[in-house]
Amino acid sequence: MKEIIKNKKLKQSSRSWILRQLKDPYTAKAKKEGYRSRAAFKLLEIQKKFKIIQKNSIVLDLGASPGSWSQIASKLVQKVIAIDLLEMDPIQNVEFIQGDFLDLENIKIIKQMLDGNLFDVILSDMAPNTCGIKKIDHLRIMNLIEEIFAFCKDNLKIGGNVVVKTFQGGTESNLLQKLKSRFEKVIHFKPNSSRKESKEIYLIAMGFKLRE
Ligand SMILES: C[S@@+](CC[C@H](N)C(=O)[O-])C[C@H]1O[C@@H](n2cnc3c(N)ncnc32)[C@H](O)[C@@H]1O
């Protein structure tokens, strides 16, 4: 990477991103510990604090690429199904679909892979493309979260847990109220490994209780 930033044709935004990566302790730690991205530490913190994944869980990893969350989940459980728009190098115990979670054809494939079972845990680190127009970006995030929880309705086990990336100020109160009636506990959590300057935050819903 040090060589790449010497390239004079590089855009300023790309140069800043690379410099940030070089300075970031979590990026270095991820490399050292064999994780495919620094995102690993966010799930590790969530798992340490909330124990959302149990030994026999069936896990769905939405927006899985390059794969550090799937790496972690696959070490804890036997069955992980993962999907991403982008390619992902294979991981043992992880069945991967390259495609859009919002595409109904892919939902059908996920259900086939489930083979009559339901998920114990649904993880989503997906973020929609932003266009910079606040209102539209907000609607895209809300739409994605609504789709994930609509999927939970038929595909999450009673007692199951969900972790969804959202953005500070992004989860509308009526959605939160709905979730609070469907889950035992709903909280927002910002892992230490999530960059302070980033607005990302995780919505964690535990103990699915109402399939309505
Ligand atoms: C922050 S990355 C995920 C990092 C991952 N958790 C890890 O640990 O390696 C977000 C991913 O979500 C994917 N994504 C965004 N929208 C998606 C969608 N509608 N369907 C599938 N994947 C999507 C992107 O392609 C991107 O790879």
Q: Answer whether residue 12 shows pLDDT above 80.
A: no
Supply the DSSP symbol for 34: T
Q: Answer whether residue 5 shows pLDDT above 60.
A: no
Kindly report, as residue ranges, where domains of CATH 3.40.50.150 are found in the chain: 36-208
Within 10 angstroms of residue 146's Cβ, the number of other Cβ atoms is: 13
β-strand partners of 156: 119
Q: Answer whether residue 2 shows pLDDT above 70.
A: no
Annotated active-site residue 165? The verdict is yes
Q: Is the distance from the beta carbon of residue 63 to the nearest atom of ligand 1 less than 6 Å?
A: yes
**CA distances (Å), 168 to each of 54, 86, 143, 189, 198, in order?**
28, 26, 16, 10, 9
Outline where DSSP puts E strands in 70-109: 79-84, 94-98
The predicted model scores a pTM of 0.91
Please tell me the distance from the alpha carbon of residue 92 to that of residue 52, in angstroms, as a whole number. Answer: 21
Residue from 11, 134, 165, 209 carrying the catalytic annotation: 165
Q: Answer whether residue 189 shows pLDDT above 90.
A: yes
Q: How far is the CA of 125 from the centre of ligand 1 (A)?
A: 6
Please tell me the distance from the alpha carbon of residue 106 to that of residue 110, in angstroms, as a whole number. Answer: 6
The two most distant CA atoms of the chain are separated, in Å, by 56
pLDDT band at 119 (very low <50, low <70, confident <90, very high): very high
Q: Is the distance from the beta carbon of residue 37 to the nearest atom of ligand 1 less than 6 Å?
A: yes
Q: Is the distance from the beta carbon of residue 65 to the nearest atom of ligand 1 less than 6 Å?
A: yes
Q: Answer whether residue 19 shows pLDDT above 80.
A: no
pLDDT band at 169 (very low <50, low <70, confident <90, very high): confident
Contact between residue 204 and residue 161 where contact means Cβ atoms under 8 Å apart = yes
Q: Answer whether residue 65 shows pLDDT above 70.
A: yes
Q: What is the per-residue pLDDT for 20?
A: 72
Q: Is the distance from the beta carbon of residue 148 to the nearest atom of ligand 1 less than 6 Å?
A: no
pLDDT band at 33 (very low <50, low <70, confident <90, very high): very high
Please return the burial class of 71, using the count of CB atoms within 10 Å of its CB with bins 0-12, 13-18 and 19+: buried
Q: How far is the CA of 87 from the centre of ligand 1 (A)?
A: 10
Q: How far is the CA of 60 from the centre of ligand 1 (A)?
A: 13
Place of tokens 């010497």: 6
Where residue 35 falls (left for φ over 0; alpha for ψ -120 to 50; beta otherwise) is: beta
Q: How far is the CA of 8 from the centre of ligand 1 (A)?
A: 30
Parallel, antiparallel, or unpaired: how do β-strands 183-189 and 200-208 relate?
antiparallel
Superfamily of domain 36-208: Vaccinia Virus protein VP39 (3.40.50.150)
| H-type alpha helices, 85-202 | 104-114, 134-155, 173-182
Residue with the smallest CA separation from ligand 1 atom 5 is: 64
pLDDT band at 172 (very low <50, low <70, confident <90, very high): confident
Q: Is the distance from the beta carbon of residue 70 to the nearest atom of ligand 1 less than 6 Å?
A: no
Which residues 6+ apart lie within 8 Å of 49 measured at CB?
Answer: 189
